[in-house]
Chain A
Amino acid sequence: MERLKLATIWFGGCSGCHMSFLDVDEFLVDLIDKIDIVYSPIVDTKEYPEEVDLCLIEGAVCHEEHVEMAHHIRKRTKLVCSFGDCAVTSNVCGMRNALGKPEVPLEYAYVTLADTNKGIPNDPVIVPNLLEQAIPLHQVIPVDHYLPGCPPPAERIKALVLNLLGVGEPLSGEQLKFG
């Protein structure tokens, strides 16, 4: 059997979902027999490769670079999975949306609360422009699978990956719980 090419990426999130992924412990060892992790914060690849079988995307879509990357990933990937509540619902990242423009929290963080160097960082070469709202991934690209949870428990991640490998049932019931 051809080895499955897996990618993971981290957009607007806390990396908790990736931590939870590592919590699958010895299942990782079983996985290595069947898959190659071709792109991920936990491997050292600079370019997102072509013909990836599955990409787990953690985090909400918060700025321009996320949008570009999402489109790039979609073109090069067979199955895309929203990985965790931020990708599925925008979750904590989306809490800024109700405050109005992104300048409101930025002003608070970088000016009101700053002790030195007051000012919102705005060099577009270094800091990508924020989207007006932090949004779920499926508003930017078509998504094939949803893996809710904040973070999704390791067992849930394992169940989804196994299902995509052709073992076990799709996620259902309490496995779909947000939060």
Chain B
Amino acid sequence: MSVRTITIDDQHVSVEEGSSVLDAAKAAGITIPTLCHMDGVYDTGACRMCLVEVEGIPKLLPACSTIVAEGWVIHTQSERLKKYRRITLELLFAERNHVCAACVANGHCELQTMAYSQGMDHVRYDYCYPKWEMDLTHPLFGMDHNRCILCARCVRTCWHIEGAGTKNVAGRGGRAHIITDMNEDWGDSATCTWCGKCVQSCPTGALFQIGATAGEMTRDPGRLNDIITARRKKQWNV
């Protein structure tokens, strides 16, 4: 096995060849903020929260989907990156109707946590206040598009962990949204296995268990990674 030695935020780290910048940072005990990344499913580089600077490379690179090369000097916490992360969060809060106080995920939400950990105390852009519907047709689970950030973790979970292929993305730009099957009511889905893995994967309150009220929706996306580890390595993480 070949090793790559790199520097992250002035720390020297040696990682396995083929490791992502995110893995390397984790090994060095450095937290890079992420939203669309989830252990157990492939990365898409969509949320842009994990962008890092690599000396000698003009473009910012997503830590989740960039494989480290020998000798890289990486910065994860520059003022510029912090500014961009804050703007990204502001854009997300302004995009749909994220009313933390009335949300099932209040207190257990990755978006909410990310916002305060990145020092976002208000949103400078005008809120869009779009009109989005809820899908409450499924007996066990609900989907509130108002709280969706389109990380597509549910889609990847549904396709690649459960293998059902029920969840998808439809529409373009600001009208992009998560759909069930061919844009049907979730309750009518012939492919949904009712496994609930998508609900576990959701970083916000967009997917929830029916009956959960404000602040009641807790979840553990780590369990999904345990399933993948169990399948691949034939062992359960305890």
Which residues does A use to contact B, with CB under 8 Å?
A: 82, 85, 88-92, 94-95, 97-100, 133, 135-136, 138-139, 143, 146, 148, 150, 171-179
Task: Assess whether B106 is in contact with A179, with CB atoms less than 8 Å apart.
Answer: yes
CB within 8 Å for A179 and B116 given contacts A85-B100, A88-B122, A90-B127: no
Which residues does B use to contact A, with CB under 8 Å?
A: 93, 97, 99-103, 106-107, 112-113, 115-117, 119-124, 126-127, 129-132, 146, 215
Task: Assess whether B115 is in contact with A178, with CB atoms less than 8 Å apart.
Answer: yes
CB within 8 Å for A89 and B123 given contacts A98-B129, A178-B100, A179-B103: yes
Task: Assess whether A173 is in contact with B116, with CB atoms less than 8 Å apart.
Answer: yes
- Bound complex: CA of A146 vs CA of B123, how far in Å? 11
Task: Assess whether B112 is in contact with A177, with CB atoms less than 8 Å apart.
Answer: yes
List, sorted by A's number, 22 A–B pairs whose CB atoms are closer than 8 Å. A88-B121, A89-B127, A90-B127, A91-B101, A92-B99, A94-B129, A95-B97, A95-B102, A98-B97, A98-B130, A98-B131, A98-B132, A135-B127, A146-B121, A146-B122, A175-B116, A176-B116, A176-B121, A177-B100, A177-B116, A179-B112, A179-B215
Q: What secondary structure prevails in chain B residues at the interface with A?
A: loop
Chain A neighbourhood of B103, CB < 8 A: 179
Task: Assess whether B107 is in contact with A179, with CB atoms less than 8 Å apart.
Answer: yes
Q: What distance in Å separates the Cβ of B35 from its nearest Cβ neighbour in chain A?
A: 16
Interface centre among A89, A135, A143, A179 (most CB of B within 10 A): A179
CB within 8 Å for A176 and B120 given contacts A91-B99, A94-B99: yes
Task: Assess whether A150 is in contact with B121, with CB atoms less than 8 Å apart.
Answer: no
